[in-house]
Amino acid sequence: MRRALALAVTPGVPLGPNPRVGCVLLAPDGTTIAEGFHRGAGTPHAEAAALAEAGDAARGATAVVTLEPCNHTGRTGPCSEALVAAGVRRVVFAQPDANPVAVGGAGRLREAGVEVVGGEQVEDAQAINRAWTFAIVHRRPFVTWKFATTLDGRSAAADGTSRWVSSRAARLDTHRLRGLCDTMLVGTGTVEVDDPELTVRDEVDEPVAIQPLRAVMGLRDLDPGRRILDARAETVHLRTRDPEEALARLHGLGRQHVFLEGGPTLARAFLAAGLVDEVVTYVAPMLLGAGRNAVADLGIATIADALHLHVSDVAVLQGHDGEDTNVRLTMRPPIPQRRSA
């Protein structure tokens, strides 16, 4: 299973819209017959790739796969039927398939007399498809809110200047995280004031094959000269102020992971709606004393009502000169976020 998990995250495999899956076929004596992994939407699934490599040697084999074999016909046929037809005698999978369209592979295999074992290293399997799993279960994209702040919680100075609250090391790390998402989301105010490009760039380790979708939320018309409307990436204007409606529309477009980079007003709207699933903040070792808050008024009047986040990771991001330093905090809300309708 560890090998199958490694195959699933082979470099170059897209993060979506399909899950990343790896498969290893084993002979009765435990030796490896063939391997396969899913290379993206429209390509053979991991099981099909392994079976094609194995040929007749698949008969009587054990298939070890990171996701329950699918049981539906889309661009490719059902993997459950392919495994049965190949004469595989045993299937071991990690994560059950939560997709209501594809579910049922394990049951179909058992009906055909194949021995099936599920739940092996399930947490590791879920981790490599975190956004896909979340979107399937909650029927909306996973939302990561990212912001940069000074020690006293300011995202910009009193005159509106914000370059650079974050260090170069933090900016490079931000682009790395952007590359892990399929959607960048800001409000019309951010587009009007900051004129962001919202693309993945700045010397990321591996240039992205497809730029994330750029989404702008708000009712105001967009200036056609703004950089977010250039040809570097696709852009959609979500004419709503409702975070749930915005996420529903993005989910309908097949989007699974939203990187929220808007200003304090947009951040407040998503926090108030309980629609932030992860918070990533870059804290700069500087003080301003005044200026724009990182998040707008949440209506919290007493410390007892403060929104507490669970810290899952802390990292010091330091530049080559030793001075260009930020601290990155990765956090999550304390309670499960509600599902969108």
264 is in an annotated binding site: yes
27 is in an annotated binding site: no
3-class state of residue 63 by DSSP: strand
63 is in an annotated binding site: no
Q: Which residues contact 172 (CB under 8 A, 6 or more apart)?
A: 202, 203, 204
Token representation of residue 225? 């000269």
- Cis before residue 164, ω within 30 degrees of 0? yes
One-letter amino acid of 143? V
298 is in an annotated binding site: no
* Residue 258 to residue 185: CA distance in whole angstroms: 7
Instruction: Please tell me which residue in 35, 47, 68, 278 is annotated as part of the active site.
Output: 47
201 is in an annotated binding site: yes
198 is in an annotated binding site: yes
Residues linked to residue 25 through DSSP beta bridges, in sequence order: 34, 63
Is there a catalytic annotation at residue 278? Answer: no
178 is in an annotated binding site: yes
Q: How far is CA 290 from CA 66, 148, 157, 166, 327, in A?
A: 51, 15, 6, 17, 21
243 is in an annotated binding site: no
* Residue 215 to residue 266: CA distance in whole angstroms: 13
263 is in an annotated binding site: yes
265 is in an annotated binding site: yes
Residue among 128, 119, 132, 240 nearest 182 (CA): 132
315 is in an annotated binding site: no
Query: Residues marked as binding for NADP(+)?
Result: 148, 164, 190, 194, 263-269
| Catalytic site positions | 47
Residues placed in the known binding site for substrate: 162, 178, 198, 201, 261
Binding residues for Zn(2+): 45, 70, 79
